[in-house]
């Protein structure tokens, strides 16, 4: 049985969530908490397998409670957020501080919970099985990142390269660790697909932009890629690339979800492979399922370079594992070393090797 602690200041929401879990044969609600302080006490005493945490609560809010829990009694936490700009910003902040995942409430409380019933159950079931150790690491200090120094022999060598990253559960924190370690004068663009619903990807991009030397934004139709620019696919849109002359443009579409995902990693990486060939570096990070494996295979088939996050640092090993098992990964790297590997790869290509 998966032991759940439900944390919400609304008696109605506590009852709705408790009833939702009670209807599932593999869940049991071991208690409820009315605020963050109450939650911390009960996490330490009852040791739940997963916690659902409201963001806005009196006495102690959900993010403050999350920070203490991850520091003193690391436990998988799924945030329950409102679909507002403030709610989205708070949720992205929570993911950076160790929350495994989140569910977004829509419309009124009754209809919203019914609409996301399956999502709550699925995400809490998955959260109970995650590797919580990577979520406990403190956030990176805001240390200055040294400029990129291309090799001397790179003069005249084409710098038309790209880095493509795909990730899901645990991704916002992983992206933060990589992007904040890359120099602002990176000689190529970075394109990113993070599984996330609409309304949250812009907050993710804005937060990462505030922490990184790179320019980071939510992708928009017809954006032109440029060195030092990272773009994140917007929620509910697939993102692909299109070449026009010497420029690469972003294309967004609402074609059917792939494996339940829109955006999906595969179409983005497949378009990267077609346009950039052996000048592409594909990276697959933490996440459930196998999205990205086909795209990484396409990059490898076009003689690009492929990196998978090592199991030791993933929150969920599913996506990297699927790519590794296909035999298409050039290097398996723990998360703290991926930015260094990206720079090493770019310097090698710029040097003509």
DSSP β-ladder status, 50-54 and 2-7: parallel
Structure tokens at 201: 């990807």
The sign of the torsion formed by the CA atoms of 335, 337, 339, 345 equals negative
Which of 195, 238, 290, 302 is the catalytic position? 195
Contact 281, 163 (CB under 8 A): yes
Name 238's bridge partners.
Answer: 253
Counting DSSP H helices and E strands in the chain, the numbers are 13, 14
Look up residue 42 and give its two tokens. Answer: 């009960």
Q: Is 291 a catalytic residue?
A: yes
Examine the residue annotation and report whether 158 is marked as an active-site residue of this protein.
Answer: no
62-72 and 85-96 helices cross at what angle (nearest 10)?
10
Pull the structure tokens for residue 48.
């739940």
| Tokens matching residue 298 | 């396409």
18 tagged catalytic:
no
Task: Compute the distance between CA of residue 305 and CA of residue 279 in angstroms, rounded to an integer.
Answer: 8
Pair of tokens at residue 49: 């397998």
Options 18, 81, 112, 168, the catalytic residue? 168
- The one catalytic residue among 9, 49, 223, 291: 291
Q: Which two tokens stand for residue 309?
A: 């996050």
Active site residues: 168, 195, 291
């Amino acid at each position: 049985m998966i032991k759940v602690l439900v944390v919400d200041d609304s008696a109605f929401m506590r009852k709705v969530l408790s009833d939702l879990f009670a209807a599932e044969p593999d869940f049991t609600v071991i208690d409820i908490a009315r605020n963050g302080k109450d939650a911390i006490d009960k996490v330490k005493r009852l040791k739940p397998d997963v916690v659902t945490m409201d963001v806005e609560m009196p006495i102690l809010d959900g993010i403050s409670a999350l920070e203490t829990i991850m520091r003193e009694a690391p436990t998988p936490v799924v945030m329950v957020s409102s679909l507002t700009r403030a709610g989205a910003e708070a949720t992205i902040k929570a993911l950076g501080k160790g929350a495994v995942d989140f569910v977004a409430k829509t419309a009124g409380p009754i209809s919203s919970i019914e609409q996301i019933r399956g999502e709550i159950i699925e995400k809490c079931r998955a959260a109970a099985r995650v590797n919580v150790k990577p979520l406990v690491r403190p956030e990176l200090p805001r240390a200055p990142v040294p400029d990129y120094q291309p090799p001397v022999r790179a003069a005249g060598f084409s710098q038309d390269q790209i880095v493509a990253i795909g990730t899901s559960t645990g991704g916002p924190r992983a992206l933060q660790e990589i992007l904040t370690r890359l120099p602002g004068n990176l000689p190529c663009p970075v394109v990113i697909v993070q599984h996330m619903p609409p309304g949250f990807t812009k907050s993710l991009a804005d937060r990462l932009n505030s922490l990184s030397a790179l320019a980071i934004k939510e992708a928009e139709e017809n954006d032109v890629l440029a060195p030092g620019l990272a773009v994140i696919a917007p929620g509910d849109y697939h993102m692909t690339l299109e070449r026009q002359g010497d420029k690469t443009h972003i294309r967004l579409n609402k074609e059917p979800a792939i494996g339940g995902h829109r955006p999906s990693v595969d179409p983005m990486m497949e378009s990267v492979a077609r346009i950039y060939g052996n000048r592409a570096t594909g990276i697959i990070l933490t996440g459930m399922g196998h999205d990205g494996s086909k795209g990484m295979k396409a990059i490898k088939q076009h003689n690009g370079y492929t990196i998978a996050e090592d199991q030791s640092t993933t929150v969920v090993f599913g996506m990297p594992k699927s790519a590794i098992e296909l035999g298409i990964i050039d290097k398996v790297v723990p998360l703290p070393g991926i930015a260094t590997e990206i720079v090493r790869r770019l310097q090698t290509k710029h040097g003509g090797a």
